[in-house]
């Protein structure tokens, strides 16, 4: 009797092309074109052949400086088909940061596009190829010609590294996260169980594909046999039109994007079932505005280290329990821990995650510090209720110690957001000769520092009231849409 085969044993597109080759795989919303899984499979073969021809060693790493576009699917699965690891890099980063990341990856090849060609040649110490026609002899073409020999997909196991992705670095230097094929498939499976999947589903990608929110749909859709609709840049008016014109059933957004859609009066077309809202805290006013307009908003909490979602609230839950991110996904366990001990419901502690979606570790020596007996220490503070619903209230390293008192930045931020006219707020601790740290707030909205301070005095303990307040036009964000707290500190110091 033959032993059962643990699936998947090769890249997901080759499995899918053998199962449902006629289904739509990728839609290019900017060019109004699409590809079936049969056509995507052939394109991946071509890219795989190019990788084998240009990389000296087998295995290894293919890095990419490619913004959101359909070609990401070909590069991701071309790497996977040849047994290589795919490492998407942020096109927004400074050259010196990219040099360090390419070096940490020990990349064999760097894939670029027309817009990143000069940046790629500046930071690479390996051959550079482009998904577009190169403009310089220093860059070769990732040619779309058919392979000269049949490509045999590499045999893969669940423990093989499939993706290397750097964290956003909102509170510290970005860290390189290893994600295995097993991590990716477990995440896609758990997401399907929570959100549901239908054969005709189409998920819109308008987030950067060098972050998990933008890359994950390419993995999920290949596993499900559904389609990805790709829009290169988010624009509230154009994105609303794309969702309606292409019968989009799901989309991943950060709160800022969703807010801009709501402010334009957007009402979703009938096919849309899921707006996965993550990458930062979704304020309850935004959630209520979405639900009032029939927008099926699903606040979610996830990390790069867990291959995306950890917990997700469905619309009914989001409406009934303000600010919750819902219960953990199937096979994911979240412990709330304070001083090394599990917390009771309602008690705030660090969120510690275990399960098959959790990374085996980082590229550097940060792994040992991030893992303990209960799993991966997220660095996020939160609490749960008796039914396991989670609330995320801030970061461990956002906790401010001022005059011997502990202040949770998330609590102060939520209070400030409750002031009429305030749109957003970020709170951090700044060095202070007298207090050790002082509470400082960067605020967006129709208000002024004195009004913010007076409001906080009425709502918070004296030690929680910000001693420094600055009103600005917008908070600084990372490319993934999360608040860049290091940039917040720089602004407040100035």
What is residue 29's predicted lDDT score, i.e. its pLDDT? 98
Is 5 domain-assigned?
no
| Band of pLDDT at residue 395, cut at 50, 70 and 90 | confident
d(CA 441, CA 29) in angstroms, rounded, equals 40
Q: How many domains does the chain have?
A: 2
Residues 355 and 411 in one domain: no
Instruction: Say if CB 309 and CB 194 are below 8 A apart.
Output: yes
| Band of pLDDT at residue 343, cut at 50, 70 and 90 | very high
Residues 420 and 281 in one domain: no
390-402: average pLDDT: 85
**Is the pLDDT reported for residue 30 higher than 80?**
yes
Is 3 domain-assigned?
no
| Band of pLDDT at residue 305, cut at 50, 70 and 90 | very high
Instruction: Say if CB 349 and CB 372 are below 8 A apart.
Output: no
Task: Please report, for the domain that includes residue 488, its CATH number.
Answer: 3.30.300.30
Is 228 domain-assigned?
yes
* Separation of first and last alpha carbons in the chain: 72
Is 4 domain-assigned?
no
Residues 222 and 324 in one domain: yes
User: Max CA-CA distance within the chain?
Assistant: 77
Nearest to 109 by CA among 148, 60, 70: 60
**Is the pLDDT reported for residue 1 higher than 70?**
no
Sign of CA dihedral 257, 34, 250, 240: positive
Percent of the chain with pLDDT over 90: 80
For helices 71-81 and 212-224, the axis angle rounded to 10 degrees is 70
| Band of pLDDT at residue 478, cut at 50, 70 and 90 | confident
Boundary (domain end) residue, out of 342, 369, 390: 390
Residues 364 and 414 in one domain: no
Spell out the SS3 assignment of the chain.
CCCCCCCCCCCHHHHHHHHCCCCEEEEECCCCEEEEHHHHHHHHHHHHHHHHHHCCCCCCEEEEECCCCCHHHHHHHHHHHCCCEEEECCCCCCHHHHHHHHHHHCCCEEEECHHHHHHHHHHCCCCEEECCCCCCCCCEECCCCCCCCCCCCCCCCCCCEEEEEECCCCCCCCCEEEEEHHHHHHHHHHHHHHHCCCCCCEEEECCCCCCHHHHHHHHHHHHHCCEEEECCCCCHHHHHHHHHHCCCCEEEECHHHHHHHHHCCCCCCCCCCEEEECCCCCCHHHHHHHHHCCCCEEEEEEEHHHCEEEEECCHHHHHHCCCCCEEECCCCEEEEEECCEECCCCCCEEEEEECCCCCCEECCCCHHHHEECCEEEEEEEEEECCCCCEEEEEEHHHCEEECCEEECHHHHHHHHHCCCCEEEEEEEEEEECCCEEEEEEEEEECCCHHHHHHHHHHHCCHHHCCCEEEEECCCCECCCCCECHHHHHHHHHC
**Of the segments 122-131, 140-149, 363-372, 391-400, which one has the largest average pLDDT value?**
122-131
Residues 403 and 386 in one domain: no
Residues 45 and 184 in one domain: yes
116-142: average pLDDT: 95
Residues 324 and 462 in one domain: no
d(CA 375, CA 373) in angstroms, rounded, equals 6
Instruction: Say if CB 307 and CB 329 are below 8 A apart.
Output: no
**Is the pLDDT reported for residue 84 higher than 90?**
yes
**Is the pLDDT reported for residue 329 higher than 60?**
yes
User: What is the model's pTM?
Assistant: 0.86
376-405: average pLDDT: 89
d(CA 383, CA 197) in angstroms, rounded, equals 30
360-376: average pLDDT: 88
Boundary (domain end) residue, out of 390, 417, 451: 390
Is 231 domain-assigned?
yes
d(CA 75, CA 330) in angstroms, rounded, equals 30
Per-residue pLDDT reduced to its tens digit, 167-196: 875 555 778 999 999 999 999 999 999 999
Alpha-carbon distances of 226 from 37, 128, 168, rounded to whole Å: 10, 32, 28
Cβ-based neighbours of 137, under 8 Å, separated by 6 or more: none
Residues 81 and 130 in one domain: yes
CA 248 centroid distance within chain: 20
Strand 422-432 versus strand 436-445 pairing type: antiparallel
Percent of the chain with pLDDT over 70: 96
Burial class (CB in 10 A: 0-12, 13-18, 19+), 366: middle
Task: Please report, for the domain that includes residue 42, its CATH number.
Answer: 3.40.50.12780
190-204: average pLDDT: 97
Residues 340 and 403 in one domain: no
The domain in which residue 281 lies consists of 12-390
Instruction: Say if CB 441 and CB 416 are below 8 A apart.
Output: yes
Residues 334 and 405 in one domain: no
What is residue 349's predicted lDDT score, i.e. its pLDDT? 94
Residues 339 and 487 in one domain: no
d(CA 375, CA 341) in angstroms, rounded, equals 13
Boundary (domain end) residue, out of 358, 390, 422: 390
Nearest to 474 by CA among 440, 441, 444: 444
d(CA 395, CA 437) in angstroms, rounded, equals 16
Alpha-carbon distances of 367 from 159, 371, 458, rounded to whole Å: 17, 7, 43
Is 45 domain-assigned?
yes
The label of the residue with tokens 């709502």 reads: 459
What is residue 58's predicted lDDT score, i.e. its pLDDT? 85
Residues 332 and 417 in one domain: no
Per-residue pLDDT reduced to its tens digit, 144-156: 656 767 889 999 9
Is 1 domain-assigned?
no
What is residue 396's predicted lDDT score, i.e. its pLDDT? 84
Instruction: Say if CB 437 and CB 402 are below 8 A apart.
Output: yes
Per-residue pLDDT reduced to its tens digit, 435-473: 788 999 999 999 999 999 999 999 998 889 999 999 999
What is residue 6's predicted lDDT score, i.e. its pLDDT? 67
Is 378 domain-assigned?
yes
Q: How much is the mean pLDDT over the chain?
A: 92
240-262: average pLDDT: 96
Classify 340 in phi/psi space as left (phi over 0), alpha (psi -120 to 50) or beta. left
């Amino acid at each position: 009797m033959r032993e059962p085969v643990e699936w998947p044993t090769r890249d997901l597109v080759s499995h899918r092309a053998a199962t449902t080759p006629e289904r739509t795989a990728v839609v290019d919303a900017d060019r109004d074109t699409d590809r079936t899984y049969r056509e995507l499979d052939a394109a991946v073969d071509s890219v795989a052949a190019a990788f084998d021809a240009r990389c000296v060693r087998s295995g290894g790493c293919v890095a990419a400086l490619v913004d959101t576009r359909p070609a990401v699917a070909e590069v991701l699965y071309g790497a996977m088909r040849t047994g290589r690891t795919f490492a998407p890099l942020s096109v927004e980063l400074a050259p010196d940061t990219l040099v360090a990341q390419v070096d940490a990856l020990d990349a064999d090849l760097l894939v670029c596009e027309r817009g990143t060609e000069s940046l790629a040649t500046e930071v690479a110490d390996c051959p550079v190829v482009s998904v577009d026609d190169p403009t310089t002899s220093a860059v070769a073409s990732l040619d779309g010609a058919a392979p000269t020999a049949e490509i045999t997909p590499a045999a893969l196991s669940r423990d093989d590294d499939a993706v290397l992705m750097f964290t956003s670095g909102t509170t510290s230097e970005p860290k390189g996260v290893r994600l295995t094929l097993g991590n990716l498939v477990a995440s896609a499976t758990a997401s399907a169980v929570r959100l549901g999947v239908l054969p005709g589903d189409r998920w819109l990608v308008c987030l950067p594909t060098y972050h998990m929110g933008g890359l994950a749909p390419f993995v999920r859709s290949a596993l499900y046999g559904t389609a990805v609709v790709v829009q290169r840049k988010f624009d509230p008016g154009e994105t609303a039109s794309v969702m309606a014109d292409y019968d989009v059933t799901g989309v991943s957004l950060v709160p800022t994007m969703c807010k801009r859609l709501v402010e334009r009066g957007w009402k979703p077309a009938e096919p849309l079932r899921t707006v996965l809202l993550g990458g930062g805290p979704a304020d309850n006013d935004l959630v209520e505005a979405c639900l009032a307009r029939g927008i099926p908003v699903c606040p979610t909490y996830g990390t790069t280290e867990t291959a995306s979602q950890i917990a997700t609230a469905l619309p009914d839950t989001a409406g009934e329990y303000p600010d919750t991110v819902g219960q953990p996904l199937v096979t994911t366990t979240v412990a709330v821990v304070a001083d090394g001990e599990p917390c009771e419901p309602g008690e705030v502690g660090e969120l510690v995650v275990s399960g098959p979606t959790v990374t085996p570790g980082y590229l550097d020596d940060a792994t040992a510090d991030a893992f303990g007996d209960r799993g991966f220490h997220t660095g996020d503070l939160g609490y749960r209720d008796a039914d396991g619903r989670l609330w995320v209230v801030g970061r461990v390293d956002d906790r401010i110690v001022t005059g011997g008192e502990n202040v949770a930045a998330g609590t102060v931020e939520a209070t400030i957001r409750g002031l009429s006219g305030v749109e957003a707020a970020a709170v951090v601790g700044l060095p202070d000769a007298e207090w050790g740290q002082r509470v400082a707030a960067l605020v967006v909205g129709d208000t002024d520092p004195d009004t913010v301070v007076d409001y906080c005095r009425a709502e918070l303990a004296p030690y929680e009231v910000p001693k420094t307040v600055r009103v600005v036009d917008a908070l600084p964000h990372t490319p993934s849409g999360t608040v860049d707290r290091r940039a917040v500190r720089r602004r407040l110091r100035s």
